[in-house]
Chain A
Amino acid sequence: MVALLAWLIPVIILALIIIIFIAYYNKFVVKGNRIDNALAQIDVQLKRRADLIPNLIETVKGYAKHEKSIIANVTDARKALVSATDLKSKVKANDQLERALKSIFALAENYPNLKANENFLQLQNELSATEDKVAYSRQYYNDSILDFNNSIRVFPGKLFASIFSVKERPFIEIAPAEREPVKVNF
């Protein structure tokens, strides 16, 4: 009887250790996947934005064809967004697009017919909504990175992280130049 117990206790302890290892490994995997998912979500929202632009350009051209430079800004920004490959350049391109769009919407003030156009209004609303959604998906991306980094840095997560070679991830940053308020030129 005693022999059985003496054999059982180390087995139980071993089992517990294995379970703890698995739990931490899985935790890192799950949190890491959340980050990847969040990144994919940002892409979804950015694509929706890009898809709305051609329609907007057509509507604007119908009323203000000669405002070539402002229209070109938007088209260029959209091109930059669609061709961007990594997160940093996507974020930069989106911010560039947002600035270009501000000029277009300010432009509409000079063209009352454009401003009253239903299509234009709807696109304006949808673009505004997607900008919010891009912002929220970026926020969640950063939140999930915070959660992940926290679990790696705290004790005892720290030990397991180094055993499994799990590294911290960087947040999305805003370049200092982009933090300045946007100037709208007529």
Chain B
Amino acid sequence: MAERIVFYDQIARNKRNSIFLIIGILAVLMLFGYIVGIVMGPDYFTIIMILSIIISIIYVWAGYYYSDKLALASVNAKEADHIRHRQLYNSVESMSLASGLPMPKVYVMNDPNINAFATGRNPKNAVICVTTGAMEKLDKEELEGVIAHEMSHVSNYDIRFMTLVAVLVGMIAIISEIFLRSLWLKGDGDSDNKAGLIFMIVGIVLAILAPIVVSLVQLAISRKREYTADATAVKFTRAPTGLIDALKKIKRENEPEQKGRINKAVAPLFISNPFDTSKVKNLFSTHPPLEERIKVLEKM
């Protein structure tokens, strides 16, 4: 007999775990930086740190700042019509009342699959986009559950959080790149003492493994935030049935998107991974399997 869980606890637990994970990434970054510093010297270390921060931030920042426009443009979304899409606007307004957030902009994208995403750098600039499939196939309660999930991402500042994670992961990847290349160019003429050699080997191992490991951690964080968003959605609607039924419909009916229809970079923003509707519990997915999400929701 499954015991009931309370959405407040679920929200707190997943937020806490995602923070532990991000601290983990930070720790890897520090450790890696330290080893690189030992191998290559403190000046090199300073330069490489500054360089990686700048590159990573620029690379990720543009995507973050313009995340709303980029995402909408990439799926060719149109602003929702107040008269034709009244039900949609009512649901979004209800959810913004329940969450205390300002009303986001509402968009519609043409797609037979049931799906939705939310983006925007903060609640004031938030945008929610729903597929035509979602509006046709979901009833009022189910649509409200999906919208509640998306508003949860806005409310929990998930876009900002995942951007932060992306910056850290990016830094590690860049440091690794630069470090390995420098070693190749430098040769090992300087390190003729045992300790130096050991640090160099550790450095190389880290340089190869760290980017992979933190990418996996990044995906784990993404999954935790999805669970958090599900629980927060229940906090807004105070009943999990809408979202549960919507997820069940998604599981039953959604077909994987053809390549090229949706930009891969935007895929993590959707409520259900548009490319991977498999039920496999996967280390490589941005979303937890639908099965698991439904199971957790049914306990609330």
Chain A positions near chain B (C-beta within 8 angstroms) = 34, 37-38, 41, 45, 129, 132-133, 136-137, 139-140, 143-144
Neighbouring B residues of A37 by C-beta, 8 Å = 100
Chain B residues 77 to 97 lying within 8 A of chain A, measured CB to CB, are: 90, 93-95, 97
Contacts of A136 in B (CB 8 A): 94-95, 97-98, 236
Residues of chain B contacted by A129 (CB below 8 angstroms): 90, 94
Total A-B pairs, Cβ < 8 A? 29
**How far is A41 from B236 in the complex, measured between Cα atoms in Å?**
16
B16 at the interface (CB under 8 A from A): no
B:230-250 near A, CB below 8 Å: 235-236, 238
Q: Output the nearest chain A residue to B238 by Cβ-Cβ distance.
A: A139
Q: Please, how many angstroms separate the alpha-carbon atoms of A136 and B90 in the complex?
A: 12
Q: Which residues of B does A touch, CB under 8 Å?
A: 90, 93-95, 97-100, 235-236, 238
Sample 10 A-B pairs with CB under 8 A, ordered by A number.
A129-B94, A133-B93, A133-B94, A136-B97, A136-B98, A137-B98, A139-B98, A140-B97, A143-B100, A143-B235
Q: B95 contacts which chain A residues (CB < 8 A)?
A: 136
A143→B94 CA distance, assembly (Å): 15
A133 & B97 in contact (Cβ 8 Å cutoff): yes
The 8 tightest CB contacts between A and B, nearest first, are A136-B98, A136-B97, A137-B97, A129-B90, A136-B94, A140-B100, A132-B94, A140-B98
User: In the complex, what residues of A have CB within 8 A of residue B99's CB?
Assistant: 140
Chain B residues lying within 8 Å of A38, measured Cβ to Cβ, are 100
B100 in contact with A45 (CB, 8 Å): no
Q: Which residue of A lies closest to B90 (CB)?
A: A129
Q: For A34, what are the chain B residues with a Cβ–Cβ distance below 8 Å? A: 100
CB distance A45 to B90 under 8 Å? no
Say how far A121's CB is from chain B's closest CB, in angstroms. 13
Q: Which residues from chain B contact A144 at a C-beta distance below 8 Å?
A: 100
Most chain-B CB neighbours within 10 Å: which of A34, A38, A136, A139? Answer: A136
Rounded to whole angstroms, the CA-CA distance of A34 and B97 in the bound complex is 12
B235 — which chain A residues lie within 8 A by C-beta? 143
How many angstroms from the CA of A41 to the CA of B90 in the assembled complex? 15
A37–B102 Cα distance when bound, in Å, is 11
Nearest B-chain residue to A44, judged by Cβ: B97
Contacts of B94 in A (CB 8 A): 129, 132-133, 136
Cα A140 to Cα B99 in complex, Å, equals: 6
B82 to chain A, nearest CB (A): 13
State in angstroms the CA–CA spacing of A140 and B238 once bound together: 11
| CB of A153 to closest CB in B, whole Å | 15
Q: Nearest Cβ in chain B — how far from A47, in angstroms?
A: 14
CA A45 to CA B100, docked complex, whole Å: 14
- Min C-beta distance of B70 to chain A, whole Å: 31
> With contacts A139-B98, A140-B99, A143-B100 known, what are 8 further pairs, Cβ within 8 A?
A37-B100, A45-B97, A129-B94, A133-B90, A137-B97, A137-B98, A139-B238, A140-B98
